[in-house]
Structure 1
Amino acid sequence: MSPRVRIRTLAVAAATGAALSIGLVAPPAMADAGADYSGSLANGTTWLASVPSDWNGTVLLYSHGYRPSFVPGNPASVAPNDDTKALLLERGYALVGSSYASSGWAVPTAVDDQLQSLDAMLDQTGLEPEHILAYGTSMGGLVTGRLAESAGDVIEGAMPTCGLMEGAVDLNNYQLDGSHAIAQLLAGQDLQIEGYATLNEAFATSAALSAAVQAGQQTAEGRARVALAAALFHLSDGVLEAEATKDPAVRQESLYTQLLGTIGFVTPGRFDIESTAGGNATWNLGVDYGKLFAQSEDRGLVAELYREAGLDLKADLATLTQTADIAADPGSVETLRASSGLTGDLQMPVVTLHTLDDVLAPVQVEQEYAEDVRGAHDASLLRQFFVDHVGHCNFTAAEIAAGIEVLQQRVETGHWSGSSATVMNRLAASLDDSGSAFVATQPGEFLGDREGRR
């Protein structure tokens, strides 16, 4: 990176310098000791930065995850948690991140907000980076993926973690499939599972879906259908590979618990996405749920539970197909794809990290992302790593740092170093004692790719 980096943002106002409002009175100067900085942009975005005294020449631009619009507070973040922040500063990285202009589904403005905040941070600190890398978590992983496709003149490498790498439309579609199964097979009625005019409508649907799942869990037939809905939600049994059990009842109970928690989060979250898109951008009209479910990794467990309950799985899947009548608003789909989609056309090396059991960003989205990158003929720029943890974005500080070190080396040398799970665990152990659980695996098929199934 050439000295005195200047950021070419997407907003004309930022290019003229009119969008910046510095939050500290200290004049721009090279940081000569460990220090924290902050500021704000004209659109309401706030940013924070931390620079260690022994800075290694690299700036990490962090993109935080989704914060519901209906939950107070939207602070800027420079790392996913304090442990990771401390380790990255110890490794010599300068850290910067923003709040985005608003909470909620902020992806449409987040790339611009991040680049402008980076520019403001460099102005205020006087830093002249050798390298700038981007990383992010969850929705911020999607933001980082968009940076990887649009900001190659500023950023040299990107690391989405637990990212929504399927893009917003496919995110909505796979969640619609799970909700459709609950509404038709457990609630027995046409619930409003999309097209919310108000947040209260979304919360009402969330309550109705949850009640149907709880009632279903009381019978063998209901438990089988709960497992089917959970499978369409891409939920796993929540058991580490090393502790895996073959007991279908134990696995089903885990799916039930995860399903309840997932419904309560994603249903009102859909309201935020629809508000950004201007309407409903999801559909299941024309979906063949028999063919769809045939590609599920949980089909064996669900089939066993159906046999034990004396239910006809094919009949239930046919019911889902026959009642699939939700059509999307084309303009909303176009808006959401343009503002929150990925093409796989990379402008820089990309490392991804994902846990095997993630209830909100299922590991199968990495299959979809890799497919997109291969389609853009950029597979040589992508490396994907997986850790055997349960939970959304449940990484140790050592795992995050190991991924960044691999990305940094790729940027500096122009080629990838050894990247086996064994090598990654060894690298993580050399960086911190927080532990690591990298494993070699290939994620299964992502079920929400409507276009890919035509």
Structure 2
Amino acid sequence: MKKIRKRRSGRIVSTLAVVPLLLVAEACSSASPPAPNPPPTRDYTTTAPQERSGVLPNGAAYQISVPAGWNGTIINDLDAVDNIRGKGPQSKFFLEHGYAYSGTSRPPDRDVNYDPHVERDNQVKVLDIFEAAFGAPKHTIQFGCSGGGGVALAVAEAYPDRVDGAISVSGAEPVVKSNQRLDLLFALKALLAPDSDLPIVGISFEDRVKAQTAWRSVLEPAQQNDAGRAHIALAGALAQAPTWGGVYSPYLEKPNPNDPGSVQQAMVRSVVDAAVYSAGIRYLYDNPAGVMSWNNGIDYNKFYANADVTGQVL
């Protein structure tokens, strides 16, 4: 089986720890970032509730909510529009605790025209609108979950002078994530069905369910014998999949680390769910410019040597 060809960058992608919001704000207040525009001279706590919404020039919807008693800190988020309009738990918490909450919605064509740079830059455009209407905040925090967490990392890296901190929940840089998913499917195919036509990359949005069905037809029987379960666990170790995790319900309870059977069951379930999900989400990474991932020049022996599953804490 041929490897996917392209050079893998040696660039180190920074990550930010997930920490409580108040601790982030406190840490930002004691740090020494590049001096922002001086905040307006006013008493933030007297601000009446205000809303701003509209559409950016590139078609992305945005919304800004400033509560009564605004504390001077703004939380910016890729998913703010849906969270505010749907009265989600994040927006409810932020606004009730005095934080302004702003951001965008995910682009409607994201499934076939994914552009993380546009999503990143849109967040700064919303901050520009906010500052023009309300003045510079005391603190600016970029927040996000999943895809929004990846955007939070990207904003912090590309615009360090516009934010005081970032909270990335389950966030990952898209190229890194797409390469990990390639590693998983590549290893599983090599171990379970090397001569098959199981798809690894280039899976279109229209073919995603068909691809997931094909993968399930190989993974389900492999789970029924010792060799199959061992191969599944090995592929998960190579791809650095979590020992315990799942995408689809019903979810497994946390395994007992002293029970090898329980741990094995958790590992197999984690890898199988991740593989099926990877096949179904591949379209996001390979549109519109082509395949985003590659593994030429990758030494999977080193990946295996680095995968000390016995040392992982459950």
TM-score clears 0.5: yes
Offset, 1:151: 1.8
1:272 partnered with 2:287: no
- Structure 2 counterpart of 1:283: 294
- Structure 2 counterpart of 1:160: 168
Among 247, 266, 275, which residue is 1:254 paired with?
Answer: 266
- Between the aligned partners of 1:249 and 1:292, the Cα distance in structure 2 is 24
Give per-residue Cα distances to partners, 1:346-391, cap 9 Å, x unaligned.
Answer: xxxxxxxxxx88xxxxxxxxxxxxxxxxxxxxxxxxxxxxxxxxxx
Q: Secondary structure at the match of 1:160?
A: strand
8 Å contact from structure 2 (residues 193, 218) kept in 1? yes
- Structure 1 counterpart of 2:121: 112
- Structure 2 counterpart of 1:38: 53
Aligned-residue CA RMSD in angstroms?
3.3
8 Å contact from structure 2 (residues 63, 102) kept in 1? yes
Among 50, 69, 76, which residue is 2:65 paired with?
Answer: 50
8 Å contact from structure 1 (residues 137, 161) kept in 2? yes
Give per-residue Cα distances to partners, 1:87-124, cap 9 Å, x unaligned.
Answer: 3223211000101444333412012211122333444x
- Between the aligned partners of 1:269 and 1:225, the Cα distance in structure 2 is 23
- Between the aligned partners of 2:125 and 2:97, the Cα distance in structure 1 is 25
Offset, 1:32: 3.9
Q: Secondary structure at the match of 1:275?
A: coil
Offset, 1:4: 6.9
Q: Secondary structure at the match of 1:113?
A: helix
Distance change in 2, residues 1:79/1:254 (3 Å): farther
Q: Partner amino acid for 1:150?
A: A
- Between the aligned partners of 2:219 and 2:291, the Cα distance in structure 1 is 24
Q: Partner amino acid for 2:143?
A: Y
Among 257, 263, 266, which residue is 1:245 paired with?
Answer: 257
Q: Partner amino acid for 1:52?
A: P
- Structure 1 counterpart of 2:140: 132
1:231 partnered with 2:237: yes
Q: Secondary structure at the match of 1:158?
A: strand
Q: Secondary structure at the match of 1:199?
A: coil
1:292 partnered with 2:303: yes
- Between the aligned partners of 1:128 and 1:170, the Cα distance in structure 2 is 34
Runs of 4+ in 1 over 6 A off after TM superposition: 239-243
8 Å contact from structure 1 (residues 47, 76) kept in 2? no
- Between the aligned partners of 1:80 and 1:284, the Cα distance in structure 2 is 41
8 Å contact from structure 1 (residues 49, 97) kept in 2? yes
- Between the aligned partners of 1:80 and 1:223, the Cα distance in structure 2 is 42
Alignment of structure 1 residues 336-415 onto 2, 5 Å: none
- Structure 2 counterpart of 1:2: 37
Aligned length: 265
Distance change in 2, residues 1:38/1:224 (3 Å): same
8 Å contact from structure 1 (residues 40, 46) kept in 2? yes
Offset, 1:35: 4.2
- Between the aligned partners of 2:86 and 2:192, the Cα distance in structure 1 is 37
Q: Give the unaligned 5+ runs of structure 1.
A: 6-29, 66-74, 302-355, 358-454
Q: Partner amino acid for 1:89?
A: L
Q: Secondary structure at the match of 1:54?
A: coil
- Between the aligned partners of 1:92 and 1:3, the Cα distance in structure 2 is 21
- Between the aligned partners of 2:286 and 2:164, the Cα distance in structure 1 is 33
- Structure 2 counterpart of 1:195: 202
TM, length-normalised to structure 1? 0.52
Give per-residue Cα distances to partners, 1:423-450, cap 9 Å, x unaligned.
Answer: xxxxxxxxxxxxxxxxxxxxxxxxxxxx
Greater relative contact order (Cα < 8 A, sep 6+) = 2
Q: Give the unaligned 5+ runs of structure 2.
A: 1-35, 246-251
Q: Secondary structure at the match of 2:162?
A: coil
Distance change in 2, residues 1:294/1:226 (3 Å): same
Offset, 1:49: 2.3
Give per-residue Cα distances to partners, 1:375-408, cap 9 Å, x unaligned.
Answer: xxxxxxxxxxxxxxxxxxxxxxxxxxxxxxxxxx
Q: Secondary structure at the match of 1:116?
A: helix
- Between the aligned partners of 1:259 and 1:80, the Cα distance in structure 2 is 33
Q: Secondary structure at the match of 2:55?
A: strand
Offset, 1:180: 1.4
TM, length-normalised to structure 2? 0.72
Please say which of residues 236-245 and 281-290 is displaced more in the overlay.
236-245
Offset, 1:300: 7.7
Identity %: 28
